[in-house]
Amino acid sequence: MRLFYLIQQRILSAFTYVGGAARLLGEAIYYGVRPPYQLNLILQEVESIGIRSLTVVNVIALFTGMVLALQTAYALGRFGAKGFIGVVVAISLVREIGPVFTGIMVGGRVGSGIAAEIGSMKVTEQIDAIRVMGSNPVKRLVVPKLIAAVVSLPLLTIVADILGIVGGLLISVMEIKVNAYYYFTSILENLSLHDVASGIGKTFFFGLIIAVIGCYQGMITKGGTVGVGRSTTNTVVVVSILILVTDFFLTKLFLIL
């Protein structure tokens, strides 16, 4: 009986979590469309979420493209089709690997940072102070982060896709001796606008997930500094899982469209 009770509590806790996050998203959208628009805060968050994530995203994207080219060459070499390395690398990066890797890496870096920032404010009662001063914490803290994440993720993914393709080019030319002109020509001939749009389209949802989960996890933080550490860990885990699950359903959707 205790096992069923624990399962029931877990299910109820999950529904409560989802409901709370959905409510926070609804409030953020409501306050986000109402003036005044805090452009300075939004730009600060774009710098924090987007520009400061460029280094880690660029390094990962470059080496991901290189590894993907090596593995693709090994697999296609069995069939004498090494000339198609560029196509496989580009489509894999643009449709799946680029958006997902970027989302997970930015989610780990930014999501945990958001949870730590807001969680620290929560346990030190700064959020209550914002309410006392007549300001809305959702509009001041959540809305700028939400907008910045939704704007930054697609741009970071575009950069990651380009660098990943360049990384594949380096390996193709230096290791596999594939002509650079043929590499790019095969990509341009086979990579469609739908491939690019489906990959970039996912990142809007990934940015939404990162911002909402990070902010909500920070808002429900309790237990002092220990609670802040727990919130950051939970944020990374939940964001990573949700990105992978959402990616599956979005992939199914874009294949139908």
* pLDDT for 222: 87
Q: What is the percent of the chain with per-residue pLDDT over 90, rounded to a whole number? A: 53
Burial 195-230 (b: 16+ CB within 10 A, else e): bbebbbebbbbbbbbbbbbbbbbbbbbeeeeebbbb
Q: Is pTM, for the whole model, over 0.85?
A: yes
* pLDDT for 240: 94
Domain boundaries, the chain: 23-251
The distance of Cα 241 from the centroid of its chain, to the nearest Å, equals: 11
Regions of the chain where pLDDT drops below 70:
1
Please state, in angstroms and rounded to a whole number, the distance separating the CA atoms of residues 96 and 73. 19
* pLDDT for 1: 65
Residues 34-92: tens digit of each pLDDT: 888 888 999 999 999 999 999 999 999 999 999 998 888 887 777 777 778 888 899 99
What's the one-letter identity of residue 195?
Answer: D
